[in-house]
Amino acid sequence: MKYLRSCHALGILSFIVILAYILSSSLATELDSIRVSQSLSDGMTLVSQGGKFELGFFSPGNSQKRYLGIWYKKIPVHTVVWVANRVNPINDFSGILTVNSKGNLILTENGTETTFWSTISLKQAKNPVLELLDSGNLVLRNEGESNPKDYLWQSFDYPSDTFLPKMKLGRDLQTGLDWRITAWKSPNDPSPGDFSLGLVLSDYPEFCIMNGTKKFFRYGPWNGVYFSGHPDLSYTYMFEVSVVINKDEVSYSTNTKIDSIIARGAINETSHALSQYVWDENVQNWQYFGSSQHDMCDHYGLCGANSYCNVTESQHVCQCLEGFSPKSPEAWNSNNTTQGCVRDKPLSCNNNVTSTDGFVKYKGLKVPDTQHTKLHENSTLDECKNLCLKNCSCMAYTNSDIRGGGSGCVMWFGDLSDIKWFQSGGQDLYIRLPAFESGLQHRNKKKVIITSTIAAICATLLLCVYVIYKVQRKNAEKSKIEGYIDDTDLPLFDLQTITTATHKFSLNNKIGQGGFGPVYKGTLADGLEIAVKRLSPSSGQGMTEFITEVKLIAKLQHRNLVKLLGCCIQGEEILLVYEYVVNGSLDKFVFDQTKSKSLDWPQRFGIIYGVTRGLLYLHQDSRLRIIHRDLKAGNVLLDVKLNPKISDFGMARTFGGDQTEGNTNRVVGTYGYMAPEYAIDGLYSIKSDVFSFGILVMEIICGTKNRALCHANKTLNLIGYAWRLWKEEKALELIDPTIKESCVISEVLRCIHVSLLCVQQYPEDRPTMASVLLMLASEMDLVDPKEPGFFPKRVSIEANSHLYQSELSTNDELTVTSLDGR
């Protein structure tokens, strides 16, 4: 009983302490600066001049420990960006921060001399004052001095896990300061975890994410335009990037182009990546919009030495460089590639004598690990080649700066590690080979001989192959599909189960038709509703679409993508089983005079926002960088709460595959949604999806398809008509009359503006989906759009007199059939 009374008393005491803390927090004193005669105790805060950031004491997660940290003041989600005493927390609310006369910060317990954290300034202090800047930087300076170079101390020199705008990552070569961010151990423990992001010094320095002392991911060296391993990292639409490389420092920093953007990067112990976030006022939460790693090829050393990683390869992502073979063929064939590759033939090199070796040129690479490199900033590429030939240890070379055609020279020595191939972007790399292997004439002659031999064999066996092909085609295709299914771990449904669920594929259950074949609604025995895609034997595209859908979306998980539940391969039947999306496709709502009234503006804006997030996931955050190629209202499904789900991935592609640098001779999709460079030249990229998205947004706003609109003496499509009204400052005339009462004018105008930015003629002018998400989620100023692609000019009135009416009218939607469209 005595023990119970003690526990009871202790509980009451704890409650009183916590209650006192809550009351003190609610009445916390806010300071704008701290001087030698002042202090900051638990319950008090230091606030930046503009009220953006706040310094004070906090307890992370469910921890009871107390830490001194900085967080966003005006954001309701408590987000800590810096912690002082990461490794030495205070056990109660007795913490106190003071500034001494020598210009040092000291964190102690009130009433004791125990120091939990302190700073050391090497500069002379004169009336030191502590202030928190609106950048999130806590600075200790002499009063009257505002030059950052004169600061006695600043928190930006000692980052925690968060990378803020204006903060530097890298190294101060004069003082030795290592500007590095390190993950928290857990949400409850801000002490340094295993993963960190910082600079690895060498003659050609680069930033790396480290797991302890081991490299986990390389950004690659800065080549004057971007980091070699991250050609799309800069997000120049939203951020200004600064890279400094000189005798004083090597650093990387960013700054938002618009002050209203609230952005941060944070390294996480669980994801092992630098994730980037932007504050979204609409949902009052952080929106994830980027990551340092995109796919499996970003894992350091995955393929071992003297090889490169290509995520678009369907069988083996790791490939030996030309002139090299797997060190252990047995392990290599079992996908254990860490031993890498070795040379087939030795180099013809003698020390101190210029070698007769040659070089093979690779394009579009993340250059190798730069630990063993030599930089010659003033050498040309030809001089670089000669320098490399004179050194028997030199294995590769390239320009150190790719701007203006290239300049500078960097050479690699020893094995070449951690190379990645990009479909777009990347750098040239010249890799050393023995003369007889690198000679262009030899390779061309060899190719001619091989080609001629193959042609002769093919001509002889063509008839036999054709006959065998016809006989075995179905079995081969089925085996191929089964192989893909095995690789994806998709659940397999029994044919009888699907037959029963769809009432034997009854016409009454048919809900759609595509290039793959018919789509049926079904209900499983447990009541789960499903949508079943049935491969049509007569479909010329069906097999290609089936394999594409299985490969690309089997492992994709996102609330704005339709979910693949499994498949069925049995007898003659080849089926895909999806979640059933109850409200069907978006086009049945926005283009229907009756149903469109059920979609008010908040719902339409939510659909636009959801499609944005789904497309961003495909382009940037999925395990493969996926281009949909057929985004349209008919391929956006709406669930019971009208949340959008992107569907129909049969036409989708990853970077690489059957195209060369984003070029394909098989143009597919729907006319009116295709970007001009894709429809005309077969060039596709994430920017062609952005174009389609822009069309879709305009259709949602206007409730009209992007097809011919006849008005006055001009024939325009919807985008052309919108562009004309935009220039005449009459954009409000575009709004669907059914949403005029519910719409927020500023939001609608912003969406129209974003739509026109997305459909600009040239891909480089269009924003990325990360930028689109930011533009929709913030009040940032937007640049003026340029003329859209496929903007029809004036047409002959006589030739089209039947089209002109007093009101807008439409003709039927056209699809691309001559270009393999649907």
pLDDT tens-digit series, residues 44-69: 999 999 999 999 999 999 999 999 99
Which member of 630, 648, 689, 736 is catalytic? Answer: 630
Which parts of 665-760 are beta strand (E)? 709-711, 714-716
Predicted confidence band of residue 185 (pLDDT cuts 50, 70, 90): very high
pLDDT one-digit tens code per residue, 371-408: 999 999 999 999 999 999 989 899 999 999 998 889 99
pLDDT one-digit tens code per residue, 456-482: 566 556 655 554 554 455 555 555 555
Q: Which pLDDT belongs to residue 660?
A: 33
Predicted confidence band of residue 288 (pLDDT cuts 50, 70, 90): confident
Q: Which pLDDT belongs to residue 246?
A: 92
Q: Which pLDDT belongs to residue 149?
A: 87
pLDDT at residue 820 above 50? no
pLDDT one-digit tens code per residue, 326-367: 999 999 988 889 999 999 998 887 655 556 789 999 999 999
Q: Which pLDDT belongs to residue 4?
A: 41
Residue 179 and residue 199: Cα distance in Å, rounded?
8
Q: Which pLDDT belongs to residue 798?
A: 31
Of the candidate ranges 103-107, 423-427, 465-469, 693-697, the one whose mean pLDDT is the lowest: 465-469
Residue 671 and residue 815: Cα distance in Å, rounded?
5
487 annotated active-site? no
Which parts of 281-356 are beta strand (E)? 285-291, 307-309, 318-320, 324-326, 341-343
Residue 193 and residue 268: Cα distance in Å, rounded?
9
Percent of the chain with pLDDT over 70: 79
Q: Which pLDDT belongs to residue 231?
A: 79
pLDDT one-digit tens code per residue, 217-259: 999 999 998 899 887 654 555 678 899 999 999 999 998 877 7
Q: Which pLDDT belongs to residue 484?
A: 55
Q: Which pLDDT belongs to residue 239?
A: 77
Give the pair of three-digit tokens for residue 710: 């006849």
> Distance of alpha carbon 449 from its chain centroid, rounded?
44
For the chain, the average pLDDT equals 82
Q: Which pLDDT belongs to residue 474?
A: 52
Domain annotation for the chain: domains and CATH numbers: 26-152 (2.90.10.10), 159-294 (no CATH), 298-438 (no CATH), 472-579 (3.30.200.20), 587-803 (1.10.510.10)
**Torsion sign, CA atoms 674, 679, 680, 686:** positive
Percent of the chain with pLDDT over 90: 51
Mean pLDDT across the stretch 508-512? 88
Which parts of 382-524 are beta strand (E)? 394-398, 409-413, 419-421, 427-433, 510-513, 518-523
Nearest to 326 by CA among 306, 310, 311, 309: 306
Q: Which pLDDT belongs to residue 710?
A: 43
Mean pLDDT across the stretch 144-152? 89
Could you tell me the pTM of the whole model? Answer: 0.63
203 or 777, higher pLDDT: 203
Q: Which pLDDT belongs to residue 233?
A: 57
pLDDT at residue 192 above 80? yes
pLDDT at residue 709 above 60? no
- Burial class of residue 619, CB neighbours in 10 A (0-12, 13-18, 19+): buried
Mean pLDDT across the stretch 718-746? 92
Q: Which pLDDT belongs to residue 51?
A: 94
Q: Which pLDDT belongs to residue 442?
A: 45
Q: Which pLDDT belongs to residue 515?
A: 59
pLDDT one-digit tens code per residue, 545-561: 666 667 677 767 788 99
Mean pLDDT across the stretch 168-176? 94
